Chain A
Amino acid sequence: MESLEQLRDRLLARFPGAKVELVTNPGPTAEHSLLLGAAHGRDVALFLRDDEALKLDYCSNATGVDWPGKEIVETVKKTIPAAAPSAVAGVGDPGPGSTSPATTPATKVVEEKIERIEPGYLEAIYHLYSMAKKHGPVIIRLRTGNRSDDVTLPSLTPVWRSCDFQEREIYDLFGIVFEGHRDLRRLLMWDEFKDHPMRKDYVAPDDFEWEPTPHGDVHERAKVHYPSPVAEPPDEPRRSPQGEGGPATATKEAPKP
């Protein structure tokens, strides 16, 4: 099979204007991959499947990956003009025993920390093999614009049917919307579920089947999240008959197991 660089050049010649980049894998396997632009993603995938030399007729694995935004702190050296010579001399004074010339510099070099947030994205990775030619894998990646509102990618299910359940799973667990998928529903979580649990910033609820009870650890933890009930007068501590998040005094009196 041709090398990945050759394949990239061939794809760029075949699809002018398409985004095809080589993503290197620093690990010992050296299984590098091709990053495709979402606009031409499905055309390139069709080409990979039907090309005579490649015949990648089998998409083995389709995975989602969440790359959350990273906060990057950069230190930049900045020169600022000295305001008052006496003040600068006081700061820059190396000490009484030093032999270095204590000249008053005209400017001062200050290290400034700049925090910037590198935006995160979601990624779908496909491992392609050829059953006809028995070679592979060719790994292709598609990336979304961000993690919040621009999460649409072209579905590769029309190209490889094996992506059907796997793309549904990625949609379910990561929240990538696959355009052109014929039946994009949640696969593993229930349909009423709101969030995408495989995202790195997902916070699981304290208890999925939470019901208010006047005692117990779950209740104590849940108090942080739920509005506290109206405070009752302290002279009549009683346990709430319905158990609707009983007052704090009643909780304290609950016998410990």
Chain B
Amino acid sequence: MSLTDLSAFTSKSGPTVRSVHDDFHGDLLEVSMGPQHPSTHGVFRMVVTLDGERIVRLKPVFGYLHRNHEKIAENTSYLGSMPYTDRLDYLCSMTNNWAYAFAVEKLAGQAVPDRAQYLRVILGELTRLVNHSCLVGFLFNDLGTSFTPLLYAFREREKILDLFESLSGSRMMCNYQRFGGCRVDPPPEWLARAKALVDNFPRFLDEYETMLTGNEIMLARTQGVGRLDPAQAVNAGITGPVLRACGVAYDIRKVDGYGFYPRFDFRVPLGEHGDTYDRYMMRILEMRESVKILSQAFKDLPAGPIMDPKAKLRGFRPKPGEAYGRIEAPKGELGFHLISDGSPNPHRYRIRPPSLINLTLLEEMCLGHTVADAVVILGSIDIVLGEVDR
């Protein structure tokens, strides 16, 4: 079977390993990794063609978690989709809610009070801490450190999820943002708890970095692995920490200045080489910047209402129009494109998933590396299949 034969990429269940022949490479081995492979972080499948141990071709196969969220959202009201956005990237429900609320507010011309804007920044940055610390843990799982770094991350994540639970009633499916504000006002005790957590977070990061950053095996396995060219990454629409690891300064918090981010003093860390190690360091450095943003937000959080009095929850019908709202989610640019025809449900509801589009260059990053490296590269891109397949 020749290398240009694409029959293995159909969804039909076939053999997981088969031999293929190519005039240039000779005899090759084709391995289907996934969809039930533990290192693919969900139901993701890669069809990898190997020359010895080196990857000569890699084709991702999607759709195992597809439930056509967009169609469901077109058949329900605007507010009815809000709990469903939690299920996209199920580690970061707060930022998903925020992105959707932001797009709808743009569509309807809805204002948001100051306190709600601050709360959104606080919860968004806490979500970034959750996502990045877990991602680093999972990355080390992929490197072979079975669960020890991940459980350190889960220890911290559990504290943040307790905060989310006491505020919104749910650990992961928060359903917290509304069009024109937030759902619940946090009491002062909650804010004191959150502030204490954030104040202690740099200690966890120091501890984490002491274990991981200078680790010899880690350096050997990640430096120079999965390099990404900046021009190619921009053209392929890569966003988030993966893009900034190549040295492209593009953070939507700075570029668009949505929400109240222009009021905060923080820096955007940039990488140099675009390899897996830089992508790891981006996460660590971004967590340190998030801590900076959070401590400023707790200091400046104003009193006041959390919902705009003109905001309409029931019977919400935006005027005909179109809006694209995007935010810097922990994984990259998360955008919602909404088209309203004046009815209570959207004519078109589209999610721009950062996880899916960041996978565009997965093949280019993996070529020439071993399967074990492909696992690490995929781990460093940070995907959640709930968002990839929608």
Contact = CB atoms under 8 A, between A and B. Distances in A.
B155 interface: no
Contacts of B340: 27
B305 interface: no
Given A60-B333, A164-B360, A185-B6, A29 B350 contact: no
Given A160-B235, A185-B9, A61 B389 contact: no
Given A28-B108, A65-B348, A131-B248, A189 B66 contact: yes
A174 B16 CA distance: 31
Residue among B10, B352, B357 facing the most chain A CB atoms (10 A cut-off): B357
Interface in B237-272: 237-238, 248, 250, 255
Contacts, number: 119
Interface string B314-332: 0000111111101000000
A154 to B, nearest CB: 18
Contact of A26 (B108, B321, B350, B352): B321
Q: Is the interface of A mostly helix, strand, loop or mixed?
A: loop
Q: Is the interface of B mostly helix, strand, loop or mixed?
A: mixed
Interface in A150-181: 160-166, 173
B57 interface: no
Nearest to B110: A28
The bracket for how many chain B residues form the interface is: 35 or more
Contact of A161 (B255, B352, B356, B360): B360
A147 to B, nearest CB: 15
A100 interface: no
A63 B9 CA distance: 24
Nearest to A191: B10
Contacts of B195: none
Interface of B: 6, 9-12, 62-63, 66, 68, 70-71, 106-109, 232, 234-238, 248, 250, 255, 318-324, 326, 333, 335, 337, 339-340, 347-348, 350, 352, 356-357, 359-361, 389-390
Given A127-B337, A166-B357, A190-B10, 15 more contacts: A25-B321, A25-B322, A27-B321, A31-B323, A60-B335, A60-B352, A63-B337, A134-B250, A134-B255, A161-B237, A173-B70, A185-B6, A185-B9, A188-B68, A192-B11
Interface of A: 25-29, 31, 33, 57-61, 63, 65-66, 125, 127, 131, 134, 137, 139, 160-166, 173, 185-192, 197-198
24 contacts: A26-B321, A27-B323, A29-B109, A29-B323, A31-B322, A58-B234, A58-B250, A60-B335, A60-B352, A61-B335, A61-B352, A127-B337, A131-B234, A131-B248, A139-B324, A160-B235, A160-B237, A161-B232, A166-B357, A173-B68, A187-B63, A192-B12, A198-B70, A198-B71
